[in-house]
Amino acid sequence: MIVMVRLDERLIHGQVAIKWSQHTGVDRIVVADDEAAANPLIQKSLMMAAPATAKTAIKSVEASIELLKNPKAADHKILVIVSNPSALLKVVTEVPGIPLVNIGNYGRVASKEDGEPRKTYRKNLYAYESEAMELRKVAETGIKCNYQTVPDDTPEDLLNVLS
């Protein structure tokens, strides 16, 4: 069963490997990211950062969705990590039974879009309007969605953050 889907452009790093994996008690991590799935160097880096307590799979978004829909997934506690709002929207609309979406770190480093920088929503959340619209669509699915960088932070409702 999926415990949480997290948007974090850094994918697996210290906060995920230590804090979130322990906080959620997961035994599996699925990185749903097309770039990481296609790049062996990124895969090796992510596997080195992954906690020893959770088996980790790095797959394309489509392959991750198929993996998560497999009935055998119900036997595990799974943390899903995506790197961008488009992938997040695709996962939440195609995979049933997601109880929580967590927005962590996104958008700090980016080129300008149409000459405009990303808007700052919180200390670790920056988005173009098109990305904010995708995040609103995620929140409108009815899945509980929050912004929370680490488990020690107080979670904030995503729609409140984006307003």
Structural domain boundaries, residue 117 = 2-162
CB-count exposure of residue 29 (10 Å: 0-12, 13-18, 19+): buried
Indicate the helix (H) or strand (E) that contains 38. Answer: helix 34-38
Contact 128, 85 (CB under 8 A): no
Q: How many domains does the chain have?
A: 1
Q: What is the pLDDT of residues 47-85, one digit of tens each?
A: 999 999 999 999 999 999 999 999 999 999 999 999 999
- Give me the pLDDT at residue 63, please: 98
148: nearest Cα among 139, 138, 158, 140: 158
Q: What is the pLDDT of residue 15?
A: 83
Q: Find the CATH number of the domain harbouring 57.
A: 3.40.35.10
| Arithmetic mean of pLDDT, 100-119 | 86
